[in-house]
Amino acid sequence: MAKLTLSFRSKTINAYFFETGQSISIGRNEDNDITIDSLAIAPVHVTLIFKQSGAVIEPENETTIVYVNEKVITSTELQHGDSITIGKHTLLYSDEKPAIEMNQSDEGDSDFADVSSILFGRKIQLGNLQVLSGSKAGHVIQLSKSQVRIGKSNASEVEFLRCNDGYYFSATRERHTGSVRLNNEPVHKQTLKIADGDYLKIDNTELLFFEE
């Protein structure tokens, strides 16, 4: 499975997943597979074909400039970790391999989450985590409980708290220094408020927090 992670000014916006054999377009028009609402992007800016050996990227025409790893390209085959720049937006290409196994259980008997409930006040928007990497990529976890712990005995562990004014996030255990990150900044023992669109990384697993 291939993944394209869209970001703007180093802030992750969304992640998209594609299977071998798919062909997609990226541009400003809403009928593209990936739509980027920016005047710096052409209505159809670039196309990609996902093959068994990788992905081939090609600008729509000679006026739609595309950079791969800061070099202008005409048509090229992408490699894992390549950075694509169109307009002011960046897409990171990755060929996904399984990361840590992730699953969730309200009974708390899985190796992914130990979930417990406490009383909370007024109703707030429901928080969710979209898994961006590993074998569970694309899976969405609802943070419907007031307290959710995520981790394994031999890995990092984090905790999410649902409070009256939103969601808070803390690292209760780090596998090693810097293994838990919020928007690419290391999280240690502090408790931080998280917002819609925040990017989290727990060991090798990437997550996107969003509210609905």
Contacts (Cβ under 8 Å, ≥6 apart) of 30:
none
> Do residues 12 and 199 make contact, with C-beta atoms less than 8 angstroms apart?
yes
Angstrom distances, CA of residue 111 to CA of 137, 153, 156: 17, 8, 12
CB 140 within 8 A of CB 130: yes
Count of residues in the chain: 212
Q: How far apart are CA 202 and CA 200, in angstroms?
A: 7
What is the four-CA torsion angle of 173, 179, 184, 188, rounded to 10 degrees? 30
User: What pLDDT, in 10s, does the model give residues 22-44?
Assistant: 999 999 999 999 999 999 999 99
Rg (CA), the chain: 19
Give the confidence band of 124 by pLDDT, cuts at 50, 70, 90. low
- Looking at the predicted structure, is the pLDDT value of residue 135 above 90? no
pLDDT, tens only, 35-82: 999 999 999 999 999 988 889 999 999 999 999 999 999 999 999 889
Q: Under a CB-based contact definition with an 8 Å cutoff, are residues 12 and 5 in contact?
A: yes
pTM: 0.51
Angstrom distance (rounded) from CA 94 to CA 181: 19
